[in-house]
């Protein structure tokens, strides 16, 4: 698969993401539902700690990717749903670094919501992966 960044202007690069990703000839596509900060038993983790919730949600994306024979480097798009935009923006550095470590800057959208499925959850990450 060939992956090409699409950025009509470069403002988004300062925030660690591309506005688009052109994926040519992917052989696999993984569309994930929202991943959150829950353990293997479905219990919410890290109440009140946005950075920890983001980290665990990314861990869950990475585990799903591995189950599909992919890695975090295959993420093409992430949609971020958050109940606290300021806290998410504050935690975005570690989020961006996680993708930089694998050499990508996937397309992203961040959406503020009033609540997620469980009251202690502050962030949910949907992802599309391609290989």
| Residue 37 reports pLDDT greater than 90 | yes
Question: What's the pLDDT at 48?
Answer: 97
pLDDT tens-digit map of 56-106 = 999 999 999 999 999 999 999 999 999 999 999 999 998 899 999 999 999
What does pTM read for this prediction?
0.90
Task: Write out the H or E segment, with its range, that includes residue 2.
Answer: strand 2-6
Long-range contacts of 43-49 (CB under 8 A, 24+ apart): 44/118, 44/120, 44/121, 47/120, 48/120, 48/122
Question: What's the pLDDT at 60?
Answer: 96
Q: Euclidean distance between the first and final Cα of the chain, in Å?
A: 6
Question: What's the pLDDT at 16?
Answer: 87
Shortest CA distance to 65 belongs to which of 52, 57, 75?
75
Extract the tokens encoding 88: 């998410």
| Residue 117 reports pLDDT greater than 90 | yes
pLDDT tens-digit map of 6-31 = 999 999 988 889 999 899 998 999 99
Question: What's the pLDDT at 47?
Answer: 97
| Residue 125 reports pLDDT greater than 90 | yes
Tell me the β-bridge partners of 3: 23
Q: Is 63 left (phi over 0), alpha (psi -120 to 50) or beta?
A: alpha
Tell me the β-bridge partners of 124: 81
Shortest CA distance to 51 belongs to which of 118, 125, 112, 122?
122
| Residue 36 reports pLDDT greater than 90 | yes
């Amino acid at each position: 698969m060939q992956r090409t960044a699409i950025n009509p202007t470069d403002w988004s690069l300062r925030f660690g993401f591309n506005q688009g990703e052109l994926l040519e000839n992917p052989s696999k596509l993984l569309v994930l539902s929202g991943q959150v900060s829950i353990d293997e038993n479905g219990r919410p983790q890290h109440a009140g700690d946005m950075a920890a919730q983001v980290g665990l949600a990314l861990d869950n994306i990475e585990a799903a990717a591995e189950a599909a024979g992919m890695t975090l480097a295959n993420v093409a798009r992430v949609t971020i749903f958050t109940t606290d935009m300021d806290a998410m923006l504050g935690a975005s550095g570690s989020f961006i670094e996680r993708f930089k470590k694998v050499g990508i800057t996937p397309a992203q959208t961040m959406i503020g919501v009033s609540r997620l499925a469980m009251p202690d959850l502050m962030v949910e990450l949907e992802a599309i992966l391609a290989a």
